[in-house]
Every structure is written in C-alpha cells, then in structure tokens.
Amino acid sequence: MTLGLTEQGKFYEKYNDPSPLTEETLKELGFEKSFGTVNRYELTINGVELYYYGGGTKVEVDIHFVESTYSYKTIGSVKMLIEALKGDE
C-alpha cells in the first residue's frame, strides 16, 4: 500500500520531535536498564536490539547489524525507528 502525500505528511508530523534524547526519554520510549552493565539501556523489537551506552557527552541509540551501526540522536528519529520495527503488529 502506497501512502498519499497527505498521509505521509501526517506520519512524519506525528514523529517530528527534534529534541535530543535523554535517559529519561529513553525510559519513556520503553528502554530498560541492563543489569550488570553501567549506563546501558536496551529495547528489543521483533528480534532487533537497540542499545544506548551512556557516559558520553551525547545520548544516541545504536542499532547494530552485521557490519554497520546506525545512530539515532533525536526523540523523533527513535520513535520512527521503533514504529518501523513494530511493523503491522
């Protein structure tokens, strides 16, 4: 199904939050602190693991594939990533 421009606009507007991630917003998005690991939060959606490793000067979520790591640094981009990974549940 192809979304019309209006529907795409509504989708992006829903997730358009350029605010930087914080540990508080990670928790609100469903990330849980890993036991035994300092400053690590994780979230698994449909078998894909998202990680946040704290301690740096910026907060970002990393998604790891075999040879690539993608970083998402804003609330909106992480919300869109989560929504995409959920698919048509």
Q: Residue 42 is which amino acid?
A: E
Which residue range forms the structural domain that includes residue 78?
17-86
Which pLDDT score, from 0 to 100, does residue 4 have?
63
The pLDDT-based confidence of 27 (bands split at 50, 70, 90) is confident
Does residue 8 sit within a domain? no
The tally of domains found in the chain comes to 1
What is the rounded distance in angstroms from the CA atom of residue 39 to the CA atom of residue 21? Answer: 14
Does residue 22 sit within a domain? yes
Asked if residue 12 has pLDDT above 80, the reply is no
CB-side neighbour CA atoms (13 Å) of 61: 30
